[in-house]
Amino acid sequence: MASACGILASRSKFLNKLVFFSNSRTLITSDIFNSSPRVFSYNVRYFSDGASLDGKHKLYSLDPIDHHESKFDKILIANRGEIACRIIKTCRQMGIKTVAIHSDVDSTALHVKMADEAYCLGPAPTSKSYLNVDAILDVIHKSSTQAVHPGYGFLSENMDFAQHLEKMGIVFIGPNWKSIHAMGDKIESKRIAAKAQVNTIPGFDGVVESPDECVKIAKDIGYPVMIKASAGGGGKGMRIAWNDQEAIEGFRFSSQEAKSSFGDDRLLVEKFVDNPRHIEIQVLCDKFGNGVYLNERECSIQRRNQKVIEEAPSTFVDENLRKAMGEQAVSLAQAVGYDSAGTVEFLVDSQKNFYFLEMNTRLQVEHPITECITGVDLVQQMIRVAKGHKLKIKQSDVGINGWSIESRVYAEDPYKNFGLPSVGRLYKYIEPLHLKNVRCDSGIQEGSEISIYYDPMICKLITYGPTRDAAIGTMINALDAYVIRGVSHNIPLLRDIMTESKFVKGDISTKYLYEVYPDGFSGKQLTETQLEHLASLCGCIFVRNETRSRHFLNQPLPPLESTLPTDWNLITEIGGKNVELLVSVKKQVFEVSVNGNQYTIPIDILLSAPVLETTIGGVPYTCQLIKQDGAGNLRIRFAGTTFKVRVLTEIAAEYERIMPKKPEKDVSKVVYAPMPGLLRSIACKVGDTVAEGQEVCVIEAMKMQNSLVIGTTGKVKTVHCKEGDEVKDDQIIIELE
């Protein structure tokens, strides 16, 4: 852990700056469109710098930073969020000053606070901020920056941007623009790969011009096919088609998403390799023709072609396959004169045949797991190579030391199609950095806002261990102890995967989520014993809360001896199931009787603690009591999933039974927004007759387009929104009569 950075703001009458007195760094905050100064208040925060995982062993050990080597004085990070913070941490260790850029809504973002200087580019939309090349070039000039690191996404694979920098004499910390051009177009990259004798997927070697042509090509190749953006990446602009109708729809949505995300709506079609693994090879090359591969990453667990969990190495790859894929990856990189860190992605079938998918000419989101098992700081190596240094690492130096897993923690609802975006403010946020062998690459902190404008990633949670089982065990503990309040998040899904039998065995493919959860994710399915444990814990929490609220004030752990009963007959309702239990209060423990089983729970339950660590019948649990009220309603995170639990005394349960039931609403005649987003199109108007299953509107959130259909046939009564409106989660858009 790096030491805390105490920050004190000072405003000068003549100079627009904030001074970091702890390290004499200056944060320039003038808006390039507005010269008026800004002053922010800062909180003390500890940053995990990734230099070590357990406080003893250095993570980046294969080629440590050489402070005698020549280096850049100042680097601008043309990005935001966690990757900007990640780059700043390595720059700090190398003794390089950093410049941050930001939109107006990111003015108090973490990467802005961490950098030595920061400049506002403009409004929130990416076209006016993080993709605004002219504004960024202006900042480069004003800040006297020597080099630019683009991170991933945004301008990281933009050939024109790299060329602009070259003309200005500014170093682009990434591959040369010719390599970006060669690999950035999926059509051209397949041709180059074939010439370099890299295995490629059968497909159409050209741009698809229309839906009809898309159908014809798909039939020639043979369904299923993958329709994807030529200039795409990150799962955007990609659709699988199994028939003509899906090919037409795939062409439409992929081209729209591609235009929105990349400004390029060209598409290609290729054979979809059914039930494959998605395995990628990390390569590292310098400007002198040297290149190495840093083993593989298993990235098969995906939803909507976007990765969810990655690990390194892969349980499926043996030494021969690793060598063959690695050598082809390096061969491809050298064929285009590649000179930075990059990733060559492959699809691998059950017979270990592998096919080139694409090359990402940038730092990959999941790069930390490679760093964990190889000891190589990829950001440091990118900066060294860009400065003109040779690689010190040879292929024989690269080994596999242990196992690492990355869980992408997103602000999204995993119960809706494995994750539809969620927005809001993080009113409580605690990363599990107290655990050994845990790394959190995040760009947010308590109080941060998750908006509709950018990717909903909260953090990349990385764990490391000598074995895969150890890395999984640490990941389970880290997910249980991760406190996030204010937005929905996908920790329940991530946590459930960690204990799912197919994942534990390493039996995964790109279809994993849809095979394991064919009806969608519905939360942790508790065993009978786990249900009893949860019911017992909630009963004890109810008793402690009742005792505390009735008799004791201003005592952190009030004694439970009182005039209140020592035996409590309770009924808990969990997911529609009623569990009866008897809670007996003893001196040091609660004794709980449920379904003929006896469990003991320590009496020192801290109801105010964000994380509750206890044992139930000797079994350890890390839980989170999110909310409780005086009526016995609890929201508790148990085994990763948040459960709504009701705890009632016998008499309260009797009254409950005779209460009238609230009738359920008929929602088939209403279209709700399943997530916050932008209403791209509306396909009906008041008075129209629509059929069940008909598309009535399209919502775009985080650059992904989602088609909404009506649940029944009828006449449109009201259209509450218009095209271009921003809608909230569960907002009514269309109603039928």
Catalytic site positions = 358
Burial bucket for residue 368 (CB in 10 Å: 0-12, 13-18, 19+): buried
Residues 6+ apart with CB under 8 A from 698: 679, 680, 681, 683, 705, 706, 707, 708
What the block records as the tokens of 722 is 């218009």
The dihedral built from the CA positions of residue 51, 55, 58 and 59, taken in this order, carries a sign that is negative
Radius of gyration of the chain (CA): 27
Tell me how far CA of residue 454 lies from CA of 104, 106, 261, 421, in angstroms.
Answer: 13, 10, 11, 10
Distance CA 147, CA 140 (A): 9
Residue 254 has, within 13 A of its CA and on its CB side, a CA count of 32
Work out whether strand 267-271 and strand 641-649 pair parallel, antiparallel, or are unpaired. unpaired
Tell me how far CA of residue 326 lies from CA of 157, 259, 341, 366, 684, in angstroms.
Answer: 22, 33, 14, 17, 52
* Prior bond of 224 cis (ω within 30°): yes
What is the total residue count of the chain? 737
Name the residue type at position 519. D
- Please give the span between the terminal C-alpha atoms of the chain, in angstroms, as a whole number: 60
Report the b/e string of 518-533 with b at 16+ CB within 10 A: eeebebbebeeebbbb
Distance CA 468, CA 473 (A): 9
What the block records as the tokens of 104 is 């107006």
Q: Residue 719: which H helix or E strand, with range?
A: strand 714-719
DSSP annotation of 2 reads P
Q: Checking phi first, is residue 217 left (phi over 0); if not, alpha (psi -120 to 50) or beta?
A: alpha
Residue 58 has, within 13 A of its CA and on its CB side, a CA count of 9
Name the residue type at position 2. A
Report the b/e string of 553-571 with b at 16+ CB within 10 A: eeeeebebeeeeeeebebb
Query: Could you tell me which of 489, 487, 493, 488 has the C-alpha nearest to residue 521?
Result: 493
Q: Residue 476: which H helix or E strand, with range?
A: helix 468-481
DSSP annotation of 210 reads S
Helices (H) then strands (E): counts for the chain: 17, 40
Q: Checking phi first, is residue 470 left (phi over 0); if not, alpha (psi -120 to 50) or beta?
A: alpha
Q: Concatenated DSSP letters for 289-350?
A: S-EEEEEEEEEEEEETTEEEEEEES-SS--HHHHHHHHHHHHHHHHHTT--SEEEEEEEE-T
